[in-house]
Amino acid sequence: MLQSDLIETESSAIVAPLDEASHYRKALKLYPQVTVDDKDWLVLIPQMAAVSKKQLGEYVASAQDSRDLLINSIDALFVGF
């Protein structure tokens, strides 16, 4: 889930899928890399969307350590830098 928990939304959340980093030759600015359980994943920012919270599984890990990378990727998607 990409959105902050500071503002609670009842039914939906902004999310982006992950894909194994090994599937890509290099990570682009729009695909920041995060590590979950010692495995590298890319966050597919261009595919972020609002989904029903009922569709989400259980909490796995926090990407707080990658906050700047995630925000820079979202900025790049929306404003081009």
Q: Which residues in the chain show pLDDT less than 70?
A: 27
The per-residue pLDDT for range 8-31, each reduced to its tens digit, is: 788 899 999 999 998 888 768 899
**Per-residue pLDDT, 5:** 77
**Per-residue pLDDT, 25:** 80
CB burial of residue 44 (10 Å; 0-12, 13-18, 19+)? middle
Reference 11, options 50, 57, 58; nearest CA is 50
- Domains in the chain with CATH codes: 12-79 (2.30.30.110)
**Per-residue pLDDT, 14:** 93
User: Taking the model in full, what pTM does it have?
Assistant: 0.85
